[in-house]
Amino acid sequence: MKIRTFSDAMREQFGTKVYRLSLTAGTTCPNRDGTCGTGGCTFCSAGGSGDFAAPLLPIREQVAAAKRRVDGKFPASIPPGSRRYLAYFQAYTSTYGDPETLGKIFREAASIPEICGLSVATRPDCLPDRMVEILSKINREKPVFVELGLQTIHEITAKRVNRGYPLPVFEDACRRLSAAGLPVVVHVILGLPGETEEMMLDTVRYLAGHRPPVSGVKLQLLHVLRGTEMGREYERHPFPLFTMEEYTDLVVRCLQSLPPEMVIHRMTGDGPKRLLIAPLWSGDKKRVMNLLSRKIAAAER
């Protein structure tokens, strides 16, 4: 097994380390405001899965503030002048709104010289043709990765977590994005209640064989967070969650099921610690990553 991480892929594409800057386009979410649902996905925190995103400021100010944070966190690595950054529109549903207004925000981010590309996180039911066209135009200048929150292919789980759209909607979005030349990155949550490991692997295998191909995947551990519907459900009736050993074993099995060219954007999760109810071991990301690295190295031998 050989894996290609986000960091590897960025180095291949840009010749240097690329840092993500978490930004917000000021959008909300149709699964919260009643357009396609209310209450949101049951695992999603009030920050709309963008708990680290910058507050709503003009985009250049957001980029400057996010850069200061990133440069402060990684001071000793690559000198700030030669760093490259990916503008990551992470909070809520980043394409939910007027395509022209959002396009202006995305274009402005792409026009900043140190920004080497964009990553736009959204739902597959929020990609009207005009939005796809705008993203595709920007993609001709600088790469635009479109991240889709699929989480699972199983309708029974999708209903249980109130995802708010069925699988064919994802397939249609993938087809249209791919036809427009936009690389698709898919979010998968491992550990959703009611799912067996085989069901989670089904989702990963589905993505492995997907046509048109998806370019990358984000594997995320389910974080049960305070203030979410799932947090309340868990506190009323705790459901089984992975131990660190089980989770890292499953991630290795997922990686073994994916084609070597697929970019692995994430293997754990980034839930805000202050909201984390469970699993508490996931708060020690360094330990999780160390264990995972050892298991991946063993599987690669």
- Residue ranges in contact with ligand SF4 by CB under 6 A: 29, 31-32, 40-41, 44, 48-49, 92-93, 123, 149
Give the nearer residue to ligand SF4 in terms of CB position, either 40 or 193. Answer: 40
Backbone phi, psi, residue 58, to 5° = -55, 150
User: DSSP per residue over 55-94, as a string?
Assistant: PS--HHHHHHHHHHHHHHHSTTSS-GGG-EEEEEE-SS-T
**C-alpha dist (Å) from residue 75 to 34, 72, 112, 195:** 44, 5, 21, 41
Min. distance of Cβ 188 from ligand SF4 in angstroms? Answer: 13
Q: How far apart, in whole angstroms, are the C-alpha atoms of residue 103 and residue 109?
A: 10
Give the nearer residue to ligand SF4 in terms of CB position, either 19 or 165. Answer: 165
Q: Assess contact for 86 and 16: CB atoms under 8 A.
A: no
Give the nearer residue to ligand SF4 in terms of CB position, either 137 or 187. Answer: 187
Q: How far apart, in whole angstroms, are the C-alpha atoms of residue 23 and residue 70?
A: 12
Backbone phi, psi, residue 23, to 5° = -125, 170
Min. distance of Cβ 29 from ligand SF4 in angstroms? Answer: 3
**C-alpha dist (Å) from residue 205 to 40, 125, 180, 243, 268:** 27, 23, 24, 23, 18
Give the nearer residue to ligand SF4 in terms of CB position, either 225 or 254. Answer: 225
Min. distance of Cβ 225 from ligand SF4 in angstroms? Answer: 11
In 3-state terms, the chain is what percent helix, strand and coil (to 5)?
45, 20, 40
Give the nearer residue to ligand SF4 in terms of CB position, either 83 or 218. Answer: 218
Min. distance of Cβ 153 from ligand SF4 in angstroms? Answer: 16
Min. distance of Cβ 39 from ligand SF4 in angstroms? Answer: 8
Q: What letter does residue 126 receive in the DSSP assignment?
A: G
Give the nearer residue to ligand SF4 in terms of CB position, either 122 or 248. Answer: 122
Min. distance of Cβ 233 from ligand SF4 in angstroms? Answer: 15
